[in-house]
Amino acid sequence: MAKRTSNKAKKTRSRSSRKTSRSKSPPFDKLKAGFLAKDARNGAPSSKTRPPLAGKQFLSDKVGHFTESVIREMTRQAMLYGAVNLAQGFPDFPAPAEIKQAAQQAVGADVNQYAITWGATSLRNAIARQMGVWQGITVDPEKEVTVCCGSTEAMISTLLAVCNAGDEVVIFEPFYENYGPDSVLSGAKPKFVKLRPPATDGGEWTFDEKELRRAFDKHTKAIIVNTPNNPTGKVFTRAELELIRDLCVEFDVLAITDEIYEHILYEGTEHISMVTLDGMRERTVTINGMSKTYSVTGWRVGWAVAPEKITNAIRKVHDFLTVGAPAPLQEAGAAALSLPAEYYAKLAEGYRVRRDRLMPALSAAGFKCFRPRGAYYVMTDISAFGYKDDVSFAKYLVQEIGVATVPGSSFYRDPRDGARQVRFAFCKKPETLDAAAGKLAALRR
Ligand SMILES: Cc1ncc(COP(=O)(O)O)c(C=O)c1O
């Protein structure tokens, strides 16, 4: 087990050879743990932190409430140090040939101008059709689907469309880091409910029913449910979703579900869409997108499916935020959603193989792994390495060992809760995973 920076590790990897010569000081100090800017954790930036200018404060108070994305910063760190990037969740292998051809054909056919603001007809029809095939529910593509610039925009457009100042949004933590800033930008206050790591090997992440109930009150506008979950790999069970459903109905709350890992499931785990539960059709916004299912995170095509009245509000926000998602890539989206069922089976199996390639290497290096049931991340416990916290360990990994990860604290409101965790993404080529495994083996020495 490695202690801090061993002399041997120092000898085997010279700092200057890893860092590009053009780089100045490493920007690691940008990695403030946790999504809230330190000054803002307990409210708006304090007057003490504002310069005593006679003039105006040029920045919005809102931006003082969160830091830049740690996940995306780790990708920049990986590039700076030439490290293997197991931080950000984007595949480093090609997208399916069929959908690339569909995109090329659309550009060739001069699909170059704005699509209909809320989405090209072909893509909305395909989304509605597949909601029928996959979830067994009937969706009206004319009235209930909004195509956005990624599920990221679908989430913020939804929150902006439904939240007023003073509303509260319940979020399970650890959480995909966008949800915190999304809530703040929409004027809502995030309320966090803990997902607790499995107590035994192969166990599940769980939440406390009473803690969840306590998070709901008359101010609760919505709950965000991400299943399969990033970063934990948890797939919410029917019983858990029914419990959430009961609270949503009792407190008259919306469920906003992020289902972008819907097709990435292991060991026969079942994905259940909240919208299919009794009583939820009228109070669920289902968010999904092309990024993860079709390995095209840079195309920026996602969508929100919601009842007509909510869809109208989402469409208004979306229109003024972005006008629309890339038109030719929406046509490719319609082709992607027409791929046969075998495509999805192969996708999940490919990720199972990758997970089972990386996890033994992580365990052998000294990480305690929480086995994911879905999505393409492994959350790990780093206690065995004896580091002060996750950020200093992640810094050591990227700079000295040559592997970029995401510090656990970026998935929690209070950085202390993630101080013993880092997340690895395994949506990578076998050779990338092997290169990372080879570097991580140095931790054992
Ligand atoms: C849970 C979750 N939602 C949304 C996104 C972003 O999706 P998109 O590329 O569709 O904006 C990610 C990306 O990692 C994610 O993990």
The tens digit of pLDDT for each residue in 92-116 reads 999 999 999 999 999 999 999 999 9
β-sheet bridge partners, residue 423? 379, 406
pLDDT of residue 56: 79
d(C-alpha 67, C-alpha 178), whole Å: 11
pLDDT of residue 397: 95
**Tokens read off for 282:** 């009228």
**Tokens read off for 286:** 């289902």
Residues 6+ apart with CB under 8 A from 407: 31, 33, 70, 74, 389, 390, 391, 393, 394, 418, 421, 422
pLDDT of residue 316: 98
Mapped onto helix, strand or coil, the DSSP state of residue 254 is strand
Q: How far is the CA of 151 from the centre of ligand 1 (A)?
A: 6
- Mean pLDDT, rounded, for 417-435: 97
- Mean pLDDT, rounded, for 345-360: 97
pLDDT of residue 15: 42
Any idea what DSSP says for residue 268? T
- Mean pLDDT, rounded, for 50-64: 76
Residues 6+ apart with CB under 8 A from 320: none
d(C-alpha 92, C-alpha 379), whole Å: 20
- CA distances for 137 relative to 2, 134, 275, angstroms: 52, 8, 8
The tally of CA atoms less than 13 A away on the side-chain side of residue 282 is: 4
pLDDT of residue 50: 57
Residue 82 has pLDDT above 70, yes or no: yes
146, 153, 156, 176: which to mutate for ligand 1, most atoms within 8 A of CB? Answer: 176
pLDDT of residue 254: 98
**Tokens read off for 318:** 């979306």
Residue 3 has pLDDT above 80, yes or no: no
64 confidence band (pLDDT: 50, 70, 90): confident
Lowest mean pLDDT across 16-25, 154-163, 293-302, 384-393: 16-25
Atom of ligand 1 nearest to the CA of 375: 16
pLDDT of residue 19: 44
Q: How far is the CA of 296 from the centre of ligand 1 (A)?
A: 11
Give 190-207 pLDDT, tens digit per residue: 999 999 999 888 789 999
Residue 18 and residue 404 in contact, taking contact as beta carbons nearer than 8 Å:
no
Confidence (pTM):
0.89
Atom of ligand 1 nearest to the CA of 302: 10
Lowest mean pLDDT across 25-34, 246-255, 394-403: 25-34
pLDDT of residue 66: 83
**Tokens read off for 60:** 């919005």
Q: How far is the CA of 21 from the centre of ligand 1 (A)?
A: 33
Give 4-38 pLDDT, tens digit per residue: 444 444 444 444 444 443 344 344 555 555 555 54
- Mean pLDDT, rounded, for 126-153: 97
Q: How far is the CA of 70 from the centre of ligand 1 (A)?
A: 14
70 confidence band (pLDDT: 50, 70, 90): confident
pLDDT of residue 44: 45
Question: Percent of the chain at pLDDT above 70?
Answer: 88
d(C-alpha 403, C-alpha 382), whole Å: 15
The closest of 432, 440, 431 to 84, measured between CA atoms, is 432
Residue 426 has pLDDT above 70, yes or no: yes
- Mean pLDDT, rounded, for 229-256: 98
- Mean pLDDT, rounded, for 271-278: 98
- Mean pLDDT, rounded, for 380-389: 95
pLDDT of residue 1: 36
β-sheet bridge partners, residue 303? 147, 288
- 3-state helix, strand and coil shares in percent for the chain, rounded to the nearest 5: 45, 15, 40
71, 171, 260, 271: which to mutate for ligand 1, most atoms within 8 A of CB? Answer: 260
What does the DSSP assignment read for 419-430? TTEEEEE--S-H
Residue 215 has pLDDT above 90, yes or no: yes
Question: Percent of the chain at pLDDT above 90?
Answer: 80
Q: How far is the CA of 94 from the centre of ligand 1 (A)?
A: 18
**Tokens read off for 367:** 């990480």
The length of the chain, given as a count of residues: 445
pLDDT of residue 435: 97
Residue 220 has pLDDT above 90, yes or no: yes
User: CA geometry: angle at 34 spanning 85 and 72, to 5°?
Assistant: 30
pLDDT of residue 55: 75
pLDDT of residue 65: 83
Residues with CB under 6 A from ligand 1: 89, 150-152, 176, 226, 230, 258, 260, 289, 291, 297, 302
d(C-alpha 180, C-alpha 405), whole Å: 20
**In 10 A of CB 393, how many CB atoms?**
23
Exposure of 360 by Cβ count < 10 A (0-12 exposed, 13-18 middle, 19+ buried)?
exposed
75, 147, 151, 378: which to mutate for ligand 1, most atoms within 8 A of CB? Answer: 151
Q: How far is the CA of 77 from the centre of ligand 1 (A)?
A: 20
pLDDT of residue 75: 86
d(C-alpha 36, C-alpha 34), whole Å: 6
Residue labelled with tokens 């101080």: 419
pLDDT of residue 67: 79
pLDDT of residue 36: 56
What does the DSSP assignment read for 88-114? S---SSPPPHHHHHHHHHHHHTT--S-
pLDDT of residue 63: 87
Amino acid at 255: A
